[in-house]
Amino acid sequence: MQRTSDINVVETRVLPAPETLFAELPKTESQSDFITRVRGDIHRVIFTEDKRFLLVIGPCSIHDLEAGRDYARRLAALAAEVSDRILIVMRVYFEKPRTTVGWKGLIMDPQLDGSHDIETGLRTARAFLREVLDLGLPTATELLDPITPQYIADLICWSAVGARTTESQTHRQMASGLSMPLGFKNGTDGTLGAAINAIKAASQPQTFMGVSVDGRASAIVTRGNPNCHIVLRGGSAGPNYSPEHIAETEAVLTKAGLLPSILVDCSHANSAKKPELQPDVMRAVVEQVTAGSTSIIGAMVESNLAAGSQPFPQPKSDLRYGVSITDGCIDWATTEQLVRDTYAALAPRFS
């Protein structure tokens, strides 16, 4: 008989059930309390009941755990210093959507060598998230593969659906069942429609196929996620964080019957993918906030220990410490200065 399926499948590796990883790497009671409290804080920021500025900041992707820990320790100290005006959440990004092909992040390829040991990737992600939380630092990630949340979402305070997947029904359904506040990015073309439709779809009950905690294919029935908002990241036509863009986004959200809560991504097309421009974008955004904008709830910044990015793939031993292997970032000194400047600029809001 002619084979009609799996013609292009080379191997199927069964993964451990989510509950196996929960048992191996459990969430502690204090982590659980912390996540619940931070998610509540972010909810209040989205609903403008908390005046603090939500800042999602950190590496474009985590590829070196030691550098990730080093960064998290520094950010935790800084976050504690500014916590009365800025709610800092660390980008702990383990999944990378690619324009064509490339390294897809630590979950998909934890050895950085194309071996795609996803089982180790999932364990590594869980273990690292617990370390970040134990520093008293809230966690943010992009959820890309719809099965991933079953393994790590209990350790995430805020998540994103990226520009390349906001229009996907699969991701909107996934978002409708997630327990944390979530930002949908505008599309790579810069238009808002897909994100607006995504917020609407994710707020509704949905039924879709997924994996249960014991690892079986299941129909998942959700309640809808009421804590979704838009993230402006610019697009092929250029940046979209100017007062005019913010006013237009506010109007479109209001017309759609949605809360006009906007987080501005200072990276990606808002900085023309030039990481060193992010502080300028951030300053322009904070200026709008101090001038009275109530729709801007915060910003996102790609930051690492060292500036820029390095080519990848290359031998692991040749990689420079603290330098991104995906999008370019600002370095730690610039990050610290930017956060302190933002803290100072926000003073009038709290006086």
329 binds, among ligand E4P, ligand PEP, none (CB under 5 to 8 A by kind): none
Touching ligand PEP, residues 90-149 (CB under 6 A): 93, 97, 142
DSSP structure class, residue 191: -
- Closest by CA position to 302, among listed 271, 329, 263: 329
Euclidean distance between CA atoms 109 and 21, whole angstroms: 18
Q: Is 224 in the site for ligand PEP (CB under 6 A)?
A: no
Q: Is 327 in the site for ligand E4P (CB under 6 A)?
A: yes
Size of the site for ligand E4P (CB under 6 A): 9
Q: Is 326 in the site for ligand E4P (CB under 6 A)?
A: yes
Binding residue (CB under 6 A) for ligand E4P from 8, 99, 317, 351: 99
Distances (CA, A) of 188 to 234, 237, 260, 301: 7, 9, 21, 17
Binding residue (CB under 6 A) for ligand E4P from 15, 47, 76, 97: 97
Helix (H) or strand (E) holding 254: helix 243-255
Q: Is 60 in the site for ligand PEP (CB under 6 A)?
A: yes
Binding map of ligand E4P across residues 212-251, x = CB under 6 A, - = no contact: ----------------------------------------
Q: Tell me the β-bridge partners of 208.
A: 220
DSSP for 45-99, please give it.
HHTTSS-PEEEEEE-SS---HHHHHHHHHHHHHHHHHHTTTEEEEEE-------S
Nearest approach, Cβ of residue 212 and ligand PEP (Å): 28
102 binds, among ligand E4P, ligand PEP, none (CB under 5 to 8 A by kind): ligand E4P
Comparison of 31 and 270: residue with beta carbon closer to ligand PEP: 270
- Closest by CA position to 162, among listed 186, 193, 140: 186
Q: Is 215 in the site for ligand PEP (CB under 6 A)?
A: no
**Burial, 173: exposed, middle or buried (Cβ in 10 Å; 0-12, 13-18, 19+)?**
buried
- Closest by CA position to 72, among listed 53, 58, 86, 84: 58
Binding residue (CB under 6 A) for ligand E4P from 38, 45, 60, 286: 60
Question: Could you tell me which stretch among 21-29, 156-164, 314-322, 328-336 binds ligand PEP (CB under 6 A)?
Answer: 156-164
Nearest approach, Cβ of residue 305 and ligand E4P (Å): 18
* Residue 103: other Cβ atoms inside 10 A: 18
Euclidean distance between CA atoms 145 and 122, whole angstroms: 12
Binding residue (CB under 6 A) for ligand E4P from 39, 52, 91, 96: 96
Nearest approach, Cβ of residue 99 and ligand E4P (Å): 3
Q: Is 309 in the site for ligand E4P (CB under 6 A)?
A: no
Q: Is 175 in the site for ligand PEP (CB under 6 A)?
A: no
Question: Could you tell me which stretch among 38-46, 82-90, 159-167, 174-182 binds ligand PEP (CB under 6 A)?
Answer: 159-167
- 8 Å CB contact between 229 and 297: yes
* Residue 306: other Cβ atoms inside 10 A: 17
**Contacts with ligand PEP, residue ranges (CB under 6 A):** 60, 93, 97, 142, 162-164, 185, 233, 265, 268
**Contacts with ligand E4P, residue ranges (CB under 6 A):** 60, 96-99, 102, 268, 326-327
